[in-house]
Amino acid sequence: MTHPIDSIEFASLLCSRLCHDLLSPVGALNNGLELMADETDPDMRQRCLDLLADSARTSANKLKFFRLAFGSAGGFGDAVPPHEARVAIEGMFARTGRVKIGWMVEEQMLGKLPVKVLLNLALIVGDALVRGGQLDIGAEKRPGVTEIVVRGEGPKVVLDPDLRAALAGTLPAEGLASRTAAAWMVRQLVTNAGGEIALSPAGEPMLLFGASIPE
């Protein structure tokens, strides 16, 4: 995609995406509080408390993930412990039991850019596993480059064609929306760093994304 995108426009789209993802758990918190205000039955009050606790955990997990994937998490250094990324990904997907995480990262530290790319690719592939499945994530540092691989396989894998186009760099300017903002950002981050993104062909029973990021 060669059409320049205004930074404020892109920030607005990304904010819309984050608000959309947080609306459900935060709304559930509000509903639980409203139910608690009028409920006197002990069993029902306990169910409301369980709802509140689950919604609070979901909201916290999403915020932790978004902080790493879209923010400037990890302080002011140039590297982030991969364990933080693993915890964030497991909080987004593994807690429900629908998606199993395979973690194949042995590095003690990774650059902030590779971590952002890894998290966003994992988010895209994980969301494509609409009926659950296996989400495998790998990263390796070699002389002068960090290699990232994210693989998803499950009973039903559905990737929005616009997301694929955003990652491939073929999305037209009018196709950029809140749902494609993260994929567009990944493409820009990698290519601006002089790296490359590889995508498995459309129609395959699994998704396989790769990124090579020069150091």
pLDDT averaged over the chain?
A: 89
**For tokens 């998704």, what's the residue?**
207
Diameter of the chain by CA atoms? Answer: 64
Indicate whether 113 pLDDT > 70.
Answer: yes
Indicate whether 193 pLDDT > 50.
Answer: yes
Indicate whether 93 pLDDT > 50.
Answer: yes
Tokens of 133: 């499945």
Confidence at residue 195, expressed as pLDDT on a 0 to 100 scale: 97
Model confidence band, residue 77 (pLDDT cutoffs 50, 70, 90): low
**Helix residue ranges per DSSP H, the chain:** 7-38, 42-70, 82-93, 112-128, 161-168, 181-192
Tokens of 113: 């850019």
* Beta-carbon contacts of residue 120 (< 8 Å; ≥ 6 apart): 69, 182, 183, 185, 186
Confidence at residue 75, expressed as pLDDT on a 0 to 100 scale: 46
Helix axes 181-192, 161-168, angle to 10 degrees: 20
Least confident of 20-24, 43-47, 70-74, 115-119: 70-74
Confidence at residue 73, expressed as pLDDT on a 0 to 100 scale: 53
* Cβ–Cβ under 8 Å, residues 160 and 202: no
Confidence at residue 1, expressed as pLDDT on a 0 to 100 scale: 39
Alpha-carbon radius of gyration of the chain: 19
Confidence at residue 132, expressed as pLDDT on a 0 to 100 scale: 93
Q: Which of 52-66, 92-106, 143-157 has the highest mean pLDDT?
A: 143-157
Please state, as a whole number, how many other Cβ atoms lie within 10 Å of the Cβ of residue 94. 17
pLDDT in tens, 172-183: 888 899 999 999
Indicate whether 96 pLDDT > 80.
Answer: no
Least confident of 7-21, 119-133, 139-153: 7-21
Indicate whether 185 pLDDT > 50.
Answer: yes
Confidence at residue 78, expressed as pLDDT on a 0 to 100 scale: 78
